[in-house]
Structure 1
């Protein structure tokens, strides 16, 4: 048996803050390093997709630490893993869908500036909210509806003057397809997040940190396997050595970019699933949405991308949507505390390692 203990409000906030920090590294760094790969001569979309989840073996490190921590208190009877066959299958299927989502996003990132793709992905919050409504029966408030609407309008606004920031060498058709692919990626991942939350709800067992990491590892393994098939079909493995030699930053830095890609993107996935564990799928979607404008600004700074009026207005709408959602959540929390002061004792999560 795992050790059980009630999470205090402060501990939940600390864990949430840690996961938000990890998520911020992935949200801000992932798109930048992916765009760096394409800008400096990389062109293998399936390889870029593979790198997003190829760092799944890194999850063994925290799992090993947690195992020996449990072993200190439980002795030789310590369970090696907690994932059940049913949860494994569910996580694997979601992982395959994640692999497809990785491909959509990589295709879009190869044709769009970081500043544009980041604002498009902000529309993911709308898809997450809709998915959470149907999948985990999330109740909408006027504030969450407002957030969904303004973020969607922001994405549409960018589409009105598509091609205005088209990178050199990208045709109009490729740019438009990249626009569509990025929106598809946002929509698909917006559904994936509530599905992960549904796994937690239907698990019929303690949702521990160990189980959360196991689910994440299975998902990333399945996504990597999916992308590996794509790489084999596209003969990406044979092309890596030649692409490395032609990389503008040099062969050594080519492999450095690949290694850091796997690490940074793993921060994204671990952080996202960690926020769901500590809060909800919608909260995870909100954190991703609010960090994307930061990524947009970084794209302008590091890649000298154009910052048009449409992008500025879309950025404003993204921030408006974020503030609207969080204001609504604060009012909701305050109302719950006023109507039921004892809720904190009865609704605390059970945590284990």
Structure 2
């Protein structure tokens, strides 16, 4: 019964994190693009905004802390009233982050800070259709690193899904061949392209690193612990970007940039604030999906949401809905359905499997 409840909770958390990821994955690029389109030009500032809203995570962590204290107090009182032995007091212990998890979170945070800058540079220099390559190649990198780091198993359906989703994003990116912004030097355009691919490769590594951290941690991984990891790694990612902002004097430039912003000074700061909040949804949703499922599923969801972002670009920014975007949308939906079908089929097979066969599979699995 307890296992069934845990399974239901995992599914519930997966749905919630998918929604949070969708908000961040679709809203983040749109609001970042709005910043650059309307006169923003500070790349380190754009990088900084991706993780600076990490204190939001402290709200659910604080609620969780007081709930755990209350539950522990109630358990102790219950045991005292029932004259229970103190040896049964293990359940009142609060699981804390170990030094291993803390150090690993710092390392991932530094990598994320670098990735934030690479991504922001690409968004500043490339058209949105070209930046589709970020998502396209990211899924391939995620699949490769997941295979190397966490021994991710691939079925015919998941391989087909990866191929279709990657192909859909590449089709979208091919439209950008003659799409270099007017007045932008070719060197800057090429450098932006390289930075974009670098961001894709690095985040393709980061997602499996989270999954590896969960597997190697010598303690139970709860969702509260996931939130703690989120706070730590985003704090250090923000530290990397803050250092870049100080060196580049972005803090001093913000007030000047706000005065010349096309939408006005007040809306400049509104965009800054909402950008930070929405990007925090992306990072929280991404590692939440890794916790509830796997890094591969997180990568697939990020990719399948790409055409949604493009459609929102058509709605809000008046971009053309080209044939390439239509083909990309169809391929992405096809790939996502392929993955869901394969996952459902695999779940049914596991559910119908006998306990003896399940034990044999676990023994035979390296």
2:230 to 200, 216, 220: 216
- Contact 2:307–2:328 at 8 Å: present in 1 too? no
Report what 1:349 is aligned to. Answer: none
Q: CA deviation at 1:302?
A: 1.3
1:112 to 111, 116, 126: 126
- Contact 1:99–1:224 at 8 Å: present in 2 too? yes
Deviations 1:262-309 (A, max 9, x none): 111111111111111111111111111111211111112212223333
Report what 2:61 is aligned to. Answer: 63
3-state DSSP class of the match of 1:205?
Answer: coil
Q: CA deviation at 1:233?
A: 1.7
Report what 2:270 is aligned to. Answer: 256
Report what 1:231 is aligned to. Answer: 245
Equivalent positions of 1:5-154 (< 5 A) are 7-75=5-73, 82-118=96-132, 120-154=134-168
3-state DSSP class of the match of 2:50?
Answer: helix
Aligned-residue RMSD, C-alpha: 2.5
Question: Is 1:290 paired with 2:326?
Answer: no
Distance in 1, matches of 2:353 and 2:244, equals: 54
Which ranges of 4 or more aligned residues in structure 1 deviate by more than 4 Å?
A: 76-81, 158-161, 341-344
Distance in 2, matches of 1:171 and 1:157, equals: 25
Deviations 1:216-268 (A, max 9, x none): 11110111111111111211111111001111111111111111111111111
Q: CA deviation at 1:160?
A: 4.3
Please list every run of 5 or more consecutive structure 1 residues that lacks an aligned counterpart in the other structure: 345-353
TM-score by length of 1: 0.89
Change in Cα spacing, 1:79 to 1:108, as seen in structure 2 (3 Å) is farther
Report what 2:198 is aligned to. Answer: 184
TM-score by length of 2: 0.86
Q: CA deviation at 1:80?
A: 7.5
- Contact 2:165–2:304 at 8 Å: present in 1 too? no
Distance in 2, matches of 1:343 and 1:196, equals: 30
57-66 vs 115-124, which deviates more?
115-124
Change in Cα spacing, 1:115 to 1:81, as seen in structure 2 (3 Å) is farther
Distance in 2, matches of 1:157 and 1:118, equals: 9
Report what 1:194 is aligned to. Answer: 208
Change in Cα spacing, 1:288 to 1:152, as seen in structure 2 (3 Å) is closer
Question: Is 1:281 paired with 2:328?
Answer: no
Distance in 1, matches of 2:257 and 2:127, equals: 22
3-state DSSP class of the match of 1:305?
Answer: coil
3-state DSSP class of the match of 2:305?
Answer: helix
CA radius of gyration, larger in:
2
Change in Cα spacing, 1:343 to 1:240, as seen in structure 2 (3 Å) is farther
Distance in 1, matches of 2:172 and 2:194, equals: 12
Q: CA deviation at 1:168?
A: 4.1
Question: Is 1:242 paired with 2:256?
Answer: yes
Question: Is 1:164 paired with 2:178?
Answer: yes
- Count of aligned pairs between the two proteins: 341
332-341 vs 93-102, which deviates more?
332-341
